[in-house]
């Protein structure tokens, strides 16, 4: 094993795949000359040259469309958005073209493309730069949605996403790029659609994904001091969702808390709650609790932002609620 920052794991995954397959290229704002807005493509221009690592104008609709068209013609583009908030400018290409071209062409075209970049809040970036769109993209048939929480998962999942023959939304976080973690030395991939039990437990299941899962770890550490055993599941892939892993855990613990950084109406946690009550209702000893942001645009004030986001204290309260403590 070796230790890598999250950004290094992303760069390593892209570089390894680009060495393996010349049809893969990276395109986006500042990915080349500047080594990436978050240095997640550091050194790639030097290795692969300007034909395969391409800086673009500030034109998400344009370069998303170029990526979709080239994917339909045999390439495997990686399109980086500086933030998925900016993907809204290019969302027509993602939803109406990338996600639908296989069906609408009767299988004549596929679209092996990865759209990647950071999602959700990252400190005081205000309302328009602090949005989590995982549930938006996951709602659309034809898209796969991946949200890793650590360097090991990020590298393995990104390599699988690049090799996938369908469009993949790969969502990172500005606040995770400096995170360090152990990554295998050799070649490895992690299949899409497979959750990971990060911590085994017996009293309650906590399901989460992305950077907010760190709050679940903090809560579990505190609860363990009180003799409460939490099982933590990292979804890793939002769509396809590993429902079997969630259901198996809930049937063991009989209680479920879902932690997601997203607005509370119609999100990923809502879908998990429905699936569990539909398929494991008789195993539940308490109603499911889901923890989300406040139902408002993200505030700029650091005091308000701290209140807006779910935190480990909220997780502790939720766990005790489902345990009737």
User: Is there a common fold for 2-183 and 196-323?
Assistant: yes
Confidence class for position 109, pLDDT limits 50, 70, 90: very high
Contacts of 209 (CB under 8 A, 6+ apart): 134, 147, 149, 234, 235, 236, 238, 260, 268
Q: Identify the DSSP state of 297.
A: P
Question: What amino acid positions are annotated as catalytic residues?
Answer: 60, 129
What CATH topology corresponds to 2-183? Rossmann fold (3.40.50)
pLDDT tens for residues 52-71? 999 999 999 999 999 999 99
pLDDT tens for residues 224-270? 999 999 999 999 999 999 999 999 999 999 999 999 999 999 999 99
* pLDDT of res. 232: 98
pTM value > 0.75: yes
The answer to whether residues 315 and 291 touch, using CB atoms and an 8 Å cutoff, is yes
299 vs 130: CA distance, rounded Å: 9
* pLDDT of res. 120: 96
* Torsion 172-154-266-123 (CA) sign: negative
* pLDDT of res. 179: 98
Q: What is the mean pLDDT of residues 299-322?
A: 98
For domain 196-323, the CATH class is alpha beta
- Domain-by-domain residue ranges, the chain? 2-183, 196-323
Q: What is the mean pLDDT of residues 204-231?
A: 98
Q: What is the mean pLDDT of residues 37-57?
A: 98
């Amino acid at each position: 094993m070796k230790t890598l920052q999250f950004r290094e794991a992303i760069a390593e995954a892209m570089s390894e795949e680009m060495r393996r397959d010349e049809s893969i290229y990276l395109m986006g704002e500042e990915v080349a000359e500047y080594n990436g807005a978050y240095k997640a493509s550091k050194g790639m221009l030097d290795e692969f040259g300007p034909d395969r690592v391409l800086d673009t104008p500030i034109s998400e609709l344009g370069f998303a469309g170029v990526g979709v068209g080239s994917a339909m013609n045999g390439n495997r583009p990686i399109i980086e958005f500086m933030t998925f908030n900016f993907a809204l400018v290019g969302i027509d290409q993602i939803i109406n073209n990338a996600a639908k071209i296989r069906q609408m062409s009767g299988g004549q075209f596929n679209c092996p493309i990865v759209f990647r970049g950071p999602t959700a809040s990252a400190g005081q970036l205000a309302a328009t730069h602090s949005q989590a769109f995982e549930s938006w993209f996951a709602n659309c048939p034809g898209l796969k949605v991946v949200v890793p929480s650590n360097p090991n998962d990020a590298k393995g999942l990104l390599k699988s996403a690049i090799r996938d023959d369908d469009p993949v939304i790969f969502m990172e976080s500005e606040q995770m790029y400096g995170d360090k973690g152990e990554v295998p030395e050799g070649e490895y991939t992690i299949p899409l659609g497979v959750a990971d039990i990060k911590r085994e437990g017996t009293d309650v299941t906590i399901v989460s994904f992305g950077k907010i899962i760190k709050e679940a770890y903090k809560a579990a550490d505190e609860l363990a001091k009180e003799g409460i055993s939490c099982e933590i599941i990292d979804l890793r892939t939002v769509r396809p969702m590993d429902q079997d892993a969630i259901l198996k855990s809930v049937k063991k613990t009989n209680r479920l808390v879902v932690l997601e950084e997203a607005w509370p109406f119609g999100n990923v946690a809502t879908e998990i709650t429905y699936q569990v009550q539909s398929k494991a209702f008789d195993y539940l000893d308490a109603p499911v609790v889901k923890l989300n942001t406040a139902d408002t645009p993200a505030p700029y004030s650091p005091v308000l932002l701290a209140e807006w986001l779910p935190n480990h204290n909220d997780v502790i309260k939720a766990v005790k609620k489902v345990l009737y403590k």
